[in-house]
Structure formats: C-alpha cells, structure tokens
Amino acid sequence: MSVIINHLTDKEKRALGRLGLAVLLFLALGLVLYLNQKNGFVNATDDLTRARMELRKAEKSLGSAKAESGRWQEARQDLESFGASYFYSDKNGIEALRRDLERIFNQTGVYVSEMGYSYADMDKVRVKKIVVSFNFTGTYAALRRLLSVIERTPKFLTVEKMDFLNTGTDSGYLNLRMVLAGYYEI
C-alpha cells in the first residue's frame, strides 16, 4: 500500500486525505445518528411497552367499572321492583292497606270493631307510614294465627306495638291493643 501512495502526487494525497477524513466524518456522523436512532428506538419500545401495560390496566379498570355499573343498575332495578312489590303505592296506599287488613282479619277469623288510623311522613327516606291501631280479643291460638298471617303478608306491614290489657288467666281470652304499621313510598 505504501508503494501506491508513493506514486500519488501531493494534490492526490491531499484529496485522498480529505476523502478519508470525509469518510471518517461520515462514519462518525452515521455512528452518532445510529446511536441516537437506537436510543430513540429503545425509548420508543419502552414507551410502547409502558403504554401497552397502561392500556391493559385501563381495560381491566374499564371492565371492573362496567361490571360495577351493571351491579348498580341491577340494584336500582331491584330497589324499584322491591318498592313496587313491598310498599303500598302513594295513590291507593290506604285503600290497599284496608283491603289487606280485611283479608287478614277474614282469613284468621278475627273480628275488629274499631280501628284508628294515623299517618307519619318519613321525609328523609321518602316513605310514609300509616299506623293502624285496634283492640284484639281472642285466644292465644287466634293471636298466633293473626301474627303468622301478618308476617306472611307480602307488603311492609309490621307489628309496631302490642299492649296486653288482659292476659286471659281467668277467661282464657287475651285482650290487647295492637298497633300495626304499613309503609308506602312517596
């Protein structure tokens, strides 16, 4: 190789040196660009991996949110059907309660001569309460039948209070004041 260089003129040697320098600069520039691109590619790959992981988390979170939304929707529907099934309606609540009480008394064979009604608003829970009070006179078995039928009534009809006026030790008949409460939505 040195033999070839000896045959070159100074001008050719300078041109060859410049060309070599240009090639070295080009290679250095290519190496810098390559390393820069490689780092950019590695960073882009890392960013893509992180984005994919975040996407999986977001999809999982979205799936959980959809499932929870479905459960809340189902709960809302349950509450609506619950209200329709178990509460008396606002428009005919008192009449439906009276019919239920009539049915209960007829089914159990209990005779009630006088019933008192009072009303209470429970604004915080959007419910009204109808309180029905009456005197009961009968045997313990009749009282058990009455309570059993009240318990099986599909509407919210609860025994709020029972005041025993006579326990029936002499006659075998109980005499008590019973207070029932029926609820209806506003």
* Helix residue spans in 87-139 (DSSP H): 93-108
Give pLDDT, residue 87. Answer: 78
Q: What pLDDT is recorded for position 123?
A: 66
Instruction: Count Cβ neighbours within 10 Å for each residue of 26-53 and write b for 16 or more, e otherwise.
Output: eeeeeeeeeeeeeeeeeeeeeeeeeeee
- What CATH code is assigned to 93-185? 3.30.70.60
Please, what is the average pLDDT of the chain?
84
Q: Which residues contact 177 (CB under 8 A, 6 or more apart)?
A: 133, 134, 135, 136, 161, 162, 163, 165
Segments making up each domain of the chain, as ranges: 2-83, 93-185
What global pTM score does this model have?
0.55
Chain segment 165-182, per-residue pLDDT in tens: 877 677 778 888 999 998
- 147 pLDDT above the threshold of 90: yes
Closest residue by Cα to residue 100 from 186, 180, 162, 161 = 180
Handedness of CA 30, 32, 34, 40 (dihedral sign): negative
Q: What is the pLDDT of residues 74-131, one digit of tens each?
A: 888 877 776 667 777 767 767 888 888 889 988 888 888 788 888 777 667 677 888 9
Question: Quick one: pLDDT at residue 145?
Answer: 92
Q: Look at residue 70 and tell me whether its pLDDT is greater than 80.
A: yes
Q: Are 182 and 88 in contact (CB under 8 A)?
A: yes
C-alpha of 72 from chain center: 3
What pLDDT, on the 0 to 100 scale, is given for residue 33? 82
Nearest to 46 by CA among 58, 34, 54: 54
With the CA atoms of 106, 86, 135 and 131 taken in that order, what torsion angle do they form, in degrees rounded to the nearest 10?
-140
Among 21-25, 31-35, 90-94, 180-184, whose mean pLDDT is lowest? 90-94
Q: Is the pLDDT of residue 149 over 70?
A: yes
Q: Is 54's pLDDT higher than 90?
A: yes
